[in-house]
Amino acid sequence: MKINIQRDILKEYEADLNDVTLLEFLQNIKTSKDSSLTYSSGCRSGVCGSCAVRVNGREVLACSYKVQDGDKIEPLRNSKVIRDLVVDMDRAYAFNQKAKAWQSKDSQNILLSQEDEKMNEVQSDCIMCSACYSACPVYAVNEEFIGPFSLTRAWRYVSDKREDSPSIKIDAIQTNGVWDCTLCNECTIVCPQGISSKADIEKLRAQSAIHGFMDPNISNFGGGFGFDGSPSF
């Protein structure tokens, strides 16, 4: 099987392997053919988020993707490439700070029901692989966009009964946040954990409205009604 890997130049690699994950293919090359090939990996079971790359333009986890003859492998977008398939995640992860994606203070034995827990069960499956961050087209126009996974993580706490100051988080995601998303849904499509940041962003928009914020992109900020009579805010 032959694949092409984007390094300084696009380079072709061949290995006598079939029905293997992309990570296994990369490991084979690294350990037996070209020790300079550089990528990240960890758990090899889809839960540590180390090995996200793009295959034929689409974000995947190398450990969870069965590599195909002719595949083109590239590093994630929107982050600085350090070498080959390794990108610097520091900037992407720093958006968690901007989104204040945490519980504001220790709660005191608040009881959560099964329904309460379900509110963010899937969102808390996030592995921070940054596939969504790479797929997000907003970064082409706004480098400061807080971004899909950080907003999902903000929702994970805003929706938690133990959070006593959700309004602080809602405040934090107004600028370069929920309203900058185009709702294109690319983040949802590439998430290996089945999380829809787009849906979470919509929920955060609804919460923002409850907290008195409005979509700054809509000029008739006084609200009003559309042609069909439905509220247009």
Partner 1 sequence: MKYDVIIIGAGGAGLTAAIKAHESGAKVIVLTKEYSTRSQTCMAQGGINAALGNADEDSIESHIQNTLKSAHNIANEEAVRFLCEQAPYAVGWLDNIGVPFSRTKESKIAQRKLGGASASRACYAQDYTGLKILHTLYDKCLSLGIEILNEKYLLELLTKEDKDEKTFVYGVNVLNKRDSSIETYETKSVILATGGYSRIYHTHSTNSVSSTGDGIAVALRAGARVSDMEFVQFHPTALKESAILISESARGAGGYLLNSKGERFTNELAPRDEVARAIDDEINKGENIFLDIRHLGENFINEELPQERKLARLYEKVDPVFDLLPIKPVAHYTMGGIEVDENSQTNIDGLFAVGECANHKVHGANRLGGNSLLELVVFGQQAGENACTYAKKFNKEYNLHSELDSDSFFNDSNNEINFYEKQEFLGDIFYKNVAIKRDKDKLLTALDEILKIKKELPLMGVSDKSKTYNTNLIEFLEFKNLLQVSELVVQCAIRRQESRGAHFRTDATDENEKYKKHSIINKDGEISYED
Q: Which residues would be at the binding site for partner 1 (CB under 8 A)?
A: 30-32, 35-36, 38-50, 64, 82-84, 86, 88-90, 93, 96-97, 100-104, 106-109, 111-114, 116-117, 120-121, 124-128, 153, 156-157, 160, 162-163
Tokens 């960890």, located at residue: 42
Give me the helices (H) in the chain, please.
Answer: 22-32, 90-98, 114-118, 131-135, 148-158, 166-172, 186-190, 197-210
CB of 219 to partner 1, least distance (A): 36
Report yes or no: 73 and 23 within 8 Å, Cβ to Cβ: no
CB of 220 to partner 1, least distance (A): 38
Nearer to partner 1 (CB atom), residue 42 or residue 216 = 42
Q: Looking at the DSSP assignment, which residues form a beta bridge with residue 225?
A: 231
Nearer to partner 1 (CB atom), residue 37 or residue 201 = 37
Q: Which two tokens stand for residue 165?
A: 């100051």
Distance between CA atoms of residues 232 and 226, nearest Å: 5
CB of 79 to partner 1, least distance (A): 12
CB of 223 to partner 1, least distance (A): 35
Environment class of 59 (CB within 10 Å of its CB; exposed 0-12, middle 13-18, buried 19+): buried
Nearer to partner 1 (CB atom), residue 60 or residue 179 = 60
Nearer to partner 1 (CB atom), residue 101 or residue 187 = 101
